[in-house]
Amino acid sequence: MTDVALIEQLKTLVEPGKVLTDADSLNAYGKDWTKHFAPAPLAIAFPKTIEQVQAIVRWANEQKVALVPSGGRTGLSAAAVAANGEVVVAFDYMNQVLAFNEFDRTAVCQPGVVTKQLQLFAEEKGLYYPVDFASAGSSQIGGNIGTNAGGIKVIRYGMTRNWVAGLKVVTGKGDLLELNKDLIKNATGYDLRQLFIGAEGTLGFVVEATMRLDRKPQNLTAMVLGAADFDSIMPVLHAFQNKLDLTAFEFFSDKALAKIMGRGDVPAPFETECPFYALLEFEATTEEVAEAALATFEHCVEQGWVLDGVMSQSEQQLQNLWKLREYISETISHWTPYKNDISVTVAQVPAFLHDIDAIVGEHYPDFEIVWFGHIGDGNLHLNILKPDNLSKDEFFAKCATVNKWVFETVQKYNGSISAEHGVGMTKRDYLTYSRSEAEIAYMKAIKAAFDPNGIMNPGKIFAL
């Protein structure tokens, strides 16, 4: 069947005007935030109901057409890229919070609900949705579930996986499954819900999710501390964790701060220049808690770990301090960074970073390296900035040659080649550094069970 005939059939499965084939739409919906692969989808379909999603999947099976899910397209692993004539299934019109249960503290969301939308909904109910990151204003719940999104609050609240009470999914066969039914306790065999979290749409599409909410934190307060060197960061984390229940513990390098300062829209936290910075957050529920934070800061200064610091005194100052960390990704995007999102156990972070830093310094002597990350949960973001004199392809090729050494180091520490960005296409060739051959074989068998014709986001996680 010709592409034109396929598109005409597809149009009968959704409402009028909800299949797009113009060049601008194909380009916009065929990619995510990665720049490694050129988008080349066949068409973009916008279902509005679960039944329409099922119809699209069943049609795709009959016609052997590959499908790629599309949410906010903020991913960093090319999991939402359609580069080989796939049909993109975009969930923009399935974007409602359908129900709220005040006793279970849950909200039933369609997959196109934006993360910030759920956060604001929870706030209106006097509650809190804690999964948070810089792209919260555009990322969608379905995409968050597909990549098991993490972000800045993992040290306290965990990943997206921790907040999914139940799912409705359309499998690669077109079957509708209701998984876990929002139960807290359910000991009835395999928890298929967990298979779909982090599966990047390779098993099927999330079409409804019941998300747990939490109590709203009280008087969130942030501190930015300038560290004498990287080895001082972990003792600082340990010191504060002994005294406070932290909601976040982030770090960034002086180069990252310099890029933010270059934008000119966030004030410097203090005058002292430091090689590394830590941003920590806690609930200052009482005066005693605030005093404990200040006393711990003074202890860190006495130990020589911290050179300077500041603690937020208002909501505006809290927001400004967070901008120092949250604006980094957007700011450095101007330099087309080559990103590595890697993790180890927290105790191994200092030795791991030194090993990686030595490799990068040896092989990228002329490249600017920007470090930042969620160091409180062992997650480091290594960003290599593209020099102006190199094309994108030349730059990515040079970076890829060193991935082997970086990922061998990750493997040595029993770490992960992708802490929170997923595998997609950018990391699929390196999966063996974090997963054994036996694990991968079982993963492929699971995919075959849910998606026997291989139409669901093919080429993601595993090579075609």
Both 177 and 238 in a single domain? no
So what's the pLDDT on residue 285? 96
Q: Which of 45, 71, 92 is the last residue of a domain?
A: 92
The closest of 323, 297, 321 to 309, measured between CA atoms, is: 297
Domain that holds residue 25: 3-92
Q: Token pair for residue 130?
A: 């804690």
461 domain residue, yes or no: no
So what's the pLDDT on residue 365? 86
So what's the pLDDT on residue 134? 84
Residue 50 CB contacts under 8 Å (≥ 6 apart), including other chains: 168, 170, 176, 207, 208
CATH number at residue 116: 3.30.465.10
Q: Which of 182, 215, 248 is the last residue of a domain?
A: 215
Give helix then strand counts, H and E, for the chain.
15, 18
So what's the pLDDT on residue 255? 95
DSSP run (H or E) holding 210: strand 204-212
Each residue's pLDDT, cut to its tens digit, for the chain (464 residues) gives: 899 999 999 999 999 999 999 999 999 999 998 878 999 999 999 999 999 999 999 999 999 999 999 999 999 899 999 999 999 999 999 999 999 999 999 999 999 999 999 999 999 999 999 999 988 999 999 999 999 999 999 999 999 999 999 999 999 999 999 999 999 999 999 999 999 999 999 999 999 999 999 999 999 999 999 999 999 999 999 999 999 999 999 999 999 999 999 988 889 999 999 999 999 999 999 999 999 999 999 999 999 999 999 999 999 999 999 999 999 988 998 898 888 999 999 999 999 999 998 998 888 888 899 999 999 999 999 999 999 999 988 998 888 888 889 999 999 999 999 999 999 999 999 999 999 999 999 999 999 999 999 999 999 999 87
296 domain residue, yes or no: yes
Phi, psi dihedral angles at 334 (to 5 degrees): -60, -30
Both 69 and 148 in a single domain? no
Q: Token pair for residue 5?
A: 């005939």
Both 234 and 178 in a single domain? no
Q: Is 161 exposed, middle or buried (0-12, 13-18, 19+ CB in 10 A)?
A: middle
The answer to pTM > 0.85 is yes
Rounded Cα gap, residues 251 and 260, in angstroms: 14
So what's the pLDDT on residue 142? 98
* Burial readout 5-40 (b: 16 or more C-beta within 10 A, e: otherwise): ebbeebbebbeeebbbeeeebbebbbbbbbbbbebe
Give residue 452's Cα distance to chain centre: 28
* Helical packing angle, 349-363 and 392-412, nearest 10°: 150
CATH number at residue 257: 3.30.70.2190
433 domain residue, yes or no: yes
Q: Tell me which amino acid residue 70 is.
A: S
Both 117 and 210 in a single domain? yes
Both 369 and 271 in a single domain? no
Give residue 237's Cα distance to chain centre: 23
Domains of the chain: total: 4
Q: Which of 215, 245, 260 is the last residue of a domain?
A: 215
364 domain residue, yes or no: yes
So what's the pLDDT on residue 376? 93
Both 266 and 192 in a single domain? no
Rounded Cα gap, residues 325 and 396, in angstroms: 25
